[in-house]
């Protein structure tokens, strides 16, 4: 059973969009994003932000909650769980 998990053809059956290929590119994507020029965001009038995610996707909300903890903006994170 364990060997079947590492069979690329089996992986592609479950991941028909090839998302597993993107995971290896995350460091490069993050570096490009960090180095790119971004416009400032005006948070005037914002007092609460909600982040929702499933699995590891919800972890980014925890990171922003930590960043915004030094401000008057409250951050809520919702970690959704799969029913299976």
Residue ranges for the chain with pLDDT beneath 50? none
Both 27 and 51 in one domain: the answer is: no
Both 25 and 49 in one domain: the answer is: no
Both 4 and 31 in one domain: the answer is: yes
Both 82 and 67 in one domain: the answer is: yes
CA 58, 17, 30, 8 torsion-angle sign: positive
Both 12 and 32 in one domain: the answer is: yes
Of 54, 63, 6, the C-alpha closest to 30 is 63
Number of domains in the chain: 2
- CB under 8 Å to 63, separation ≥6 — which residues? none
Both 50 and 33 in one domain: the answer is: no
Both 49 and 79 in one domain: the answer is: yes
CA–CA separation, 31 and 27 (whole Å): 6
Both 34 and 54 in one domain: the answer is: no
Of 58, 50, 52, 53, the C-alpha closest to 74 is 50
């Amino acid at each position: 059973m364990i060997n079947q998990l590492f069979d690329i053809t089996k992986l592609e059956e479950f991941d028909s969009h090839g998302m597993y290929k993107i995971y290896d590119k995350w460091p490069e994507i993050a570096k490009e994003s960090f180095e790119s020029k971004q416009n400032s965001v005006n948070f005037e009038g914002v007092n609460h932000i909600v982040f929702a995610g499933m699995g590891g996707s919800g972890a980014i909300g925890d990171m922003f909650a930590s960043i915004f903890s030094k401000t008057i903006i409250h951050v809520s994170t919702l970690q959704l769980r799969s029913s299976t």
